[in-house]
Structure 1
Amino acid sequence: MKYRTLGKTGFKISDVSLGTWQLGGKWGAPFDEQDAQATLAAAYDAGVNFFDTADIYQEGLSEKAIGTFLKGKTDKVYVSTKIGRKLDPHVAAGYTPANIDAFVDASLQNMQVDALDNVLLHCPPTAVYYNPEVWFELDRLKKIGKIRNYGVSVEKTEEAIKALDYDISTVEIIFNMFRLKPANLFFKLAQAKNVGILARVPLASGLLSGKYSAETKFGAEDHRSYNRDGSAFDKGETFSGVDYLTGVKAANELKQRLGTEQLAQTALRWILMFDAVTTVIPGASNPGQIARNVSASDVPALTDEQMAIVRDVYNRLIKNPVEYLW
């Protein structure tokens, strides 16, 4: 495992981390505490020292499982959690100092800690980026010691750029072989402000595993079935906003032209080719997936020719309309 510094936080974190949206159960499946603890243990044993979670993942059970797991651990594991999506409706007006305080206090209780390593606003509506009161409240919580760092998880690259107006430490953004726009300008701006970047949805909801076909079926409770049109939440969260059949075609071409049978590892290593990225956070719902993910840290660097292949496939098959929407 290799480690990088998470911007101004100073945290030295594993370049492959653990996303816990699926912790203890695949999408739509019941939470399983035993599977969750086994998955966290496998990541910890592999040298992963950064867990990404959210207060709404499994209705708080993800945070609770992490808190339970970390009790008594001698090696430091940093936890980044997200707040805001418990708002119903999820609208900008709900991002008040009182609600932010309540969300932070709930996460502190769930993880049984005195301070949160990193707190991200969870893909807030665009208007929130233009409300300084929200960000100043996070400054206050940092000053009194309830949180150590804060930032935002974004849907759009433009939101990530706007967030740099505030004293954020980290930005979590969708970045993968099907979502290249963040590297065009945002990465350079973030580096100039020493803001760490967490690359989320790195495998485009599994498309970049190279294992799906036109005939692949997903469960009714799986967002890859019900959110392709964005009816439940931003459609960019599902397959990175790529039309499913187009994504299958692009993944197959990448697999062939890059000469790899392990497209998932190659796709994760591609993200790490960008030094602005601190860590990539693939999800895992069982220990077996951990080994696949962490192996990406040791995959050889992609060649200039391979990097050009990724750009070519993106430009021909993905860029329009993905780049213009996010």
Structure 2
Amino acid sequence: MDTRPLGTTGFDVSEIGLGTWQLGGDWGPVSDEDAFDAIEAALDAGITFLDTADVYGDGDSEQRIGSVLDDRDDDPVVATKAGRRLDPHEAGRYTHENLERFVDRSRTNLGVESLDLVQLHCPPRDVYYQPEVFDALDELRQSGKVDHYGVSVEKVEDALKAIEYDGVETVQIIFNPLRQRPAELFFREAQRRNVGVIVRVPLASGLLTGALSADSEFGEDDHRNYNRDGEAFDVGETFAGIPFEDGLAAADSLETIVPDGVSLAQFTLRWILSFDAVSTIIPGSKTPAHIRDNVAAASLPPLSADQFQHVEEVYDTYARDHVHHRW
């Protein structure tokens, strides 16, 4: 699999990475064995970028990654996140003391001396206007506990503000055929500043896999059930903020232009990789077969102009009014 530079970090990472939210929680239960199998499958398929967070399963995701890597010779880039353990989750609580406490816990969970990359985990808007937060991250890097830092954001506006800080080397953001706004201004600014772009929620919580239908049911502990209207966290994280029925209609329309032998998920990932600003994509999965299919998307031929046009029309018809002004 081809690699792309991750901003100024010096890391070259696989075009397809692995998101491990599913391996910690909020997507239904997953056993240690199944989580280990998923991580092993990703590494065996050539994935060199793993993304996690300290709140995924209250640290389970980090610990499972650490356990697998402890038994292998692989040396992937492991990115984690910090901040969402704050309760209440308020900008004023993003202090050096709290951030260092979270970083130390993640270092222990992952079994490393220094974190490859730590990202602020979708913090409140005011955090981006508090230089002392980024000073604290600089100090953690200077102390040897963090190699690089970035941010994970909900909104384009937050991403644009974050990259005004010289130390921010990466931005993680939602981008897919149903959430296209980042491609307008943010991607251009990220490239101008040589900031790495990590794309999350690429398959819109399963909508863009073609596997969901109006009859699909989700468990009580699956965010696609309990966060459908943003009850637990930003609704943009669930189905990319698209009403479920509109998302299904959009997926059906996209299916009409997917080439034979290619899945809708693979088509979607290849569409995302068409944007040069993207460093890596982190689809999540518990299933080794799905992970291998995702990796195969990186080898697909480029999309045609007609396919790009159809994706744009689908966005305008089913998604733009719901999402473009919000994120």
The TM-score range, normalised by the shorter chain, is over 0.9
CA deviations 1:72-107 (Å, max 9, x no partner) are 533321100001111111111221111001000100
CA deviations 1:46-77 (Å, max 9, x no partner) are 11011000001111011111111112533321
CA contact (8 A) 1:24 1:286 kept: no
What SS does the aligned partner of 1:140 have?
helix
What SS does the aligned partner of 1:7 have?
coil
1:176 corresponds to: 176
2:242 corresponds to: 242
1:138 corresponds to: 137
What SS does the aligned partner of 2:202 have?
coil
- By how many angstroms is 1:232 displaced? 0.6
Asked if 1:284 is matched to 2:276, the reply is no
Asked if 1:53 is matched to 2:52, the reply is yes
RMSD (Å), alpha carbons:
1.3
1:323 corresponds to: 324
Determine the C-alpha separation between the residues in 1 that align with 2:69 and 2:192: 33
What SS does the aligned partner of 1:48 have?
coil
CA contact (8 A) 1:26 1:285 kept: no
1:300 corresponds to: 301
Pair 1:25–1:122, CA change in 2 (3 A): closer
Determine the C-alpha separation between the residues in 2 that align with 1:67 and 1:262: 32
TM-score for both structures, normalised by structure 1: 0.97
2:311 corresponds to: 310
Determine the C-alpha separation between the residues in 2 that align with 1:213 and 1:188: 36
- By how many angstroms is 1:286 displaced? 2.6
CA contact (8 A) 2:17 2:283 kept: yes
Pair 1:143–1:228, CA change in 2 (3 A): same
Asked if 1:111 is matched to 2:129, the reply is no
Determine the C-alpha separation between the residues in 1 that align with 2:108 and 2:99: 14
What SS does the aligned partner of 2:168 have?
coil
Determine the C-alpha separation between the residues in 2 that align with 1:208 and 1:110: 32
What SS does the aligned partner of 2:280 have?
strand
Q: Which letter does structure 2 place at the counterpart of 1:9?
A: T
Asked if 1:165 is matched to 2:164, the reply is yes
- By how many angstroms is 1:26 displaced? 7.4
- By how many angstroms is 1:187 displaced? 0.4
Determine the C-alpha separation between the residues in 2 that align with 1:57 and 1:49: 20
Unaligned runs of 5+ in 1: none
Counting matched residue pairs gives: 325
Asked if 1:152 is matched to 2:157, the reply is no
CA deviations 1:144-202 (Å, max 9, x no partner) are 21111100000001000000111201000000010000000000101111110000000
Q: Which letter does structure 1 place at the counterpart of 2:195?
A: V
- By how many angstroms is 1:24 displaced? 6.5
